[in-house]
Amino acid sequence: MSFGQDGPGQGPGGSSTPDWAALADESERERTRKRRWMIAGAGALATVVVAGIVAFAVMSEGGGGGSASDKPSETLPTPKDLPSSSGEPTFEDEPPPPPPPRDFVSDAKRDKAPLSVGTLYPSSSVKVNGRPYKRTSTDTSKDCADAAHAGLGPVLSKNGCESLFRATYTHRGLAVTVGIAVFDDAKTAAKVKQQYKPNLVALKGGGVPDFCRTVTCRTTANSFGRYAYFTIAGRTNGKPSTSADAKAEQAGRDGSTYAYARILKRGKDQAAKAVGASPE
């Protein structure tokens, strides 16, 4: 039997002409079913893709691809999962800073470094504020009044001066004697500075004649820690150095600056040693 006679698709009344409307309806229904399946399939595929992305994101959170603030709170590690130490140094790991140098040179109980003209005046030549000075002589006086004139001697004695260390330096026809006196504590040294009266005895020797004995010279007095320090400066040719002698006055200030620097260095070295660091 052929489809042309009694097969499917005949129109009403037995006509052999196809029912185009019915065929169109059937075709439309078929297309509709396919669209529904495609939409359903696409939805299922999208669900699978999204699930895959979420799973990848969860697996990748520990890899450093984003900042912690971008992650949902539920993905953060619990406290028991957190590392106990970050490996970074803490304040307890850092060495303590050295104590202030003044602490070591303010009290005889802490100021235990060797003390002599060699430790206070170690260099045969020094430069202060760009000016070079040559050391010509040194001296140690256990009786401090022996190295001080009538005005200064009694001040040193009544305040318990332990030793007076002197050194003389020269620069272009000028000479300056530096004297560092040692006391038991900073309070006493500060009192000596306040009670100061001239003069330190200038120290000759090493090619420097007896200077500042009978003529006017420039003087200074100061203290740092348990040390009081003095200078007397003048001309090596025996001429007086009045207040108008700016160069002699400068030599006296340079000597005072050097004495301060040496006492400070003493304090710094002991402070560094106290924390196991190397002295400067």
Per-residue pLDDT tens over the stretch 75-126: 555 555 555 555 665 555 666 777 899 999 999 999 999 999 999 999 999 9
7 confidence band (pLDDT: 50, 70, 90):
very low
Residue closest to 142 by CA, chosen among 116, 173, 109, 123? 116
CA 56 distance to own-chain centroid: 47
CA dihedral for 157, 160, 162, 167, sign (positive or negative) = negative
In this prediction, residue 56 carries a pLDDT of 44
pLDDT at 71 over 60: no
**Residues 45, 39: Cα–Cα separation, whole Å:** 10
Q: Identify the H or E element spanning 133.
A: strand 131-141
Q: What is the mean pLDDT of residues 168-189?
A: 98
In this prediction, residue 86 carries a pLDDT of 58
Q: Are 240 and 217 in contact (CB under 8 A)?
A: yes
**Residues 86, 100: Cα–Cα separation, whole Å:** 33
pLDDT at 257 over 70: yes
User: Between β-strands 174-182 and 218-224, what pairing exists: parallel, antiparallel or unpaired?
Assistant: unpaired
Q: What's the whole-number average pLDDT of the chain?
A: 80
**Residues 99, 196: Cα–Cα separation, whole Å:** 30
In this prediction, residue 275 carries a pLDDT of 86
In this prediction, residue 39 carries a pLDDT of 56
The total number of residues shown for the chain amounts to 280
pLDDT at 145 over 70: yes
